[in-house]
Amino acid sequence: DQQVKQNSPSLSVQEGRISILNCDYTNSMFDYFLWYKKYPAEGPTFLISISSIKDKNEDGRFTVFLNKSAKHLSLHIVPSQPGDSAVYFCAASGGEYGNKLVFGAGTILRVKS
Amino acid sequence: GAVVSQHPSRVICKSGTSVKIECRSLDFQATTMFWYRQFPKQSLMLMATSNEGSKATYEQGVEKDKFLINHASLTLSTLTVTSAHPEDSSFYICSARWGGSPLHFGNGTRLTVT
């Protein structure tokens, strides 16, 4: 049973436009959410996080939105750059998982120049 | 720069042999490290939590006798895949955190068992 779902396996965006990556979760006890970026043959790199007490967190071109009632979060990248092309993983922790991270399956983002 | 170092990055071994993967925390002490496995086009799955000075905690469905974890010091955890089989071929990644930081991952090890 996947508790963190990224329903879009891939996304293609034009350089300069906005990239929106979505993530849904089923466990209402999750209270901390993270986005990681992964390049081929490398480990995931932390990008941005959000606590359940917030509904938005912004860091430069990256903004994460959290909708607790819908159990949905999204990552916005504006403006998108070719170097943003990677696999993006959504992850959650909390509840019975404590500090352990539960990952989604990832979304491949391709930014076209 | 990298804060978690993993070695080797890639290994090919024959079926029935054992393979050791090292994970080191750089410039910080990690009492806890985490080992993940990723199959193609799937999410990262937590295998076990490595605890310095004590036994590792394995997730449900992970064979502790097959995936031996040793956390001998505050900066080193090792994962040994014993009697490897082709179905063990996967991408293994370790991670660690210090203080309240998010998890930081190593670059992973691509294991291919022939």
pLDDT digits (tens, 9 = 90+) for B50-101: 988 888 999 999 999 999 999 888 899 999 999 999 999 999 999 998 777 7
**Residues in chain B closer than 8 A to A45 (CB atoms):** 105
Say whether residue B96 is in contact with chain A using an 8 A CB cutoff: no
Give SS3 for A82. helix
Cβ separation of A44 and B6 shorter than 8 Å? no
List, for residues A67-101, the tens digit of each pLDDT value: 999 999 999 999 999 999 999 999 999 988 888 89
Cβ separation of B108 and A100 shorter than 8 Å? no
